[in-house]
Each structure stands twice: as C-alpha cells, then as structure tokens.
Amino acid sequence: MLMTVFLLGLGTALVLVFAVNRYLSFRSQTPADYAAQTPELDIREQLNGPILCEGVIYGPTGKVSSRFVADFDAKWDGNTGVMTEFFRYDSGTTQNREWTLRLQDDGSIIADAPDLVGSGSGRQSGSSVLLNYTIKLADEAGGHALDVTDWMYLMENGTIMNRSQFRKFGIKVAELVATMRRVPVELPRDAVMPDLTDSTDSRAA
C-alpha cells in the first residue's frame, strides 16, 4: 500500500515537472509567440558589422559564475553570414569563436560552429530569434556536450537582449544573459572597445 502511494506520488510529481517545463518555463516559448511584435529582428541587419556584447553566466546554483565582454564582427553574402566572436572573461581568459549562419526563405536558420555537435537550427520571427544547438565545451572546461536553448529579442533602441539556457540530461546547468549592440558607423571600434587582438587566446573554463 505504501509503495503504491509512493509510486503514485512520484508519477504525479514527474507529470507536474513535465507540464511546468513544457508549458510554463523558458523553453515553452515558440517563435509564434513573437511573430506580430515589432521592431522586426532580421539577422542580416541586426547581426551585421561590428557588435559589442556584455554578459553574465549563472551557474547551477543561480549565482553568477562568470562575467564577460565580447567583440563580434559579422559579414553577410546574401543569406549566408559569418560572425566571429572574441570574448574576454573576468578570469582573464579569452576565447575565439566563429558562427556560420544560413537564413532560409521561410525564416528558418541553420547554424554551424566548430564547437557544435552537428548543426544548430532555429527561426527568426517578429522581434525574436530562436536557436537550438548542442555545444561541446573545451577539454579544460570538462568537455561536456550541453543542449542550448538560445533566444534573442530586439529592443526599440536596436539593442538585442540574449538569454540562453544550457542543459545536461535535461537539467539546467548554466544560464547566460547578455546584450548585443551594433557599433555606430561614425565611431571607430577602438573608441568603444579596447583592442584585444594581442591577447593570448585560451578557452574559458
């Protein structure tokens, strides 16, 4: 009898967890939720040219585990874009990454990077962009493969707000919140971001 009650309680708890994750959590968003919102986020426009990024990474306990600033540069040839990223973390380590983004006629996106497992996929819709992908951490960071849900939202002033969650076996292990701002064309890049090109490249822990 007690075992039956325990199993029923466990089953109910699992159903509730599934329902919360599916319908009430960060991952329950869909591109259709933002389809009618403006301004419209077009990655060929907003993710183009030099971009400044600042962000924080939260660990599994909810505390900030890392802070970073980054210098991005994106170039497009039709519907195919290449975006290079240079990160500088509060620990003093640096990281270089590169994305290749291919925008399809229906708004869907195919994303590739050297540290992804396979290709990522997503969609731009209204004021938002969704990307889903699996990233493999560097060996010094554990070498784990993490499933990422990555949302970007375009603000009225042109700033992009970025929120990403990283999961292992379905359990959230990290979260990132960042801003991305295009560098005004009238300003040289070194007027708003220090020259980091001479820094030693190393993977962030």
pLDDT tens sequence across 139-173: 887 889 999 999 999 999 999 999 999 999 999 99
3-state class (DSSP) for residue 82: strand
Angle at 57 between CA 52 and CA 62, to 5 degrees: 150
Residue 4: predicted pLDDT: 60
Residue 138: predicted pLDDT: 86
Whether a cis peptide bond, with omega within 30° of 0, leads into 39 is yes
Query: By CB neighbour count within 10 A (0-12 exposed, 13-18 middle, 19+ buried), where does 174 fall?
Result: middle
Q: Which domains does the chain have, with CATH numbers?
A: 31-191 (2.40.128.20)
Q: Residue 147 has what DSSP assignment?
A: E
Residue 199 has pLDDT above 80, yes or no: no
Give pTM, 2 decimals: 0.79
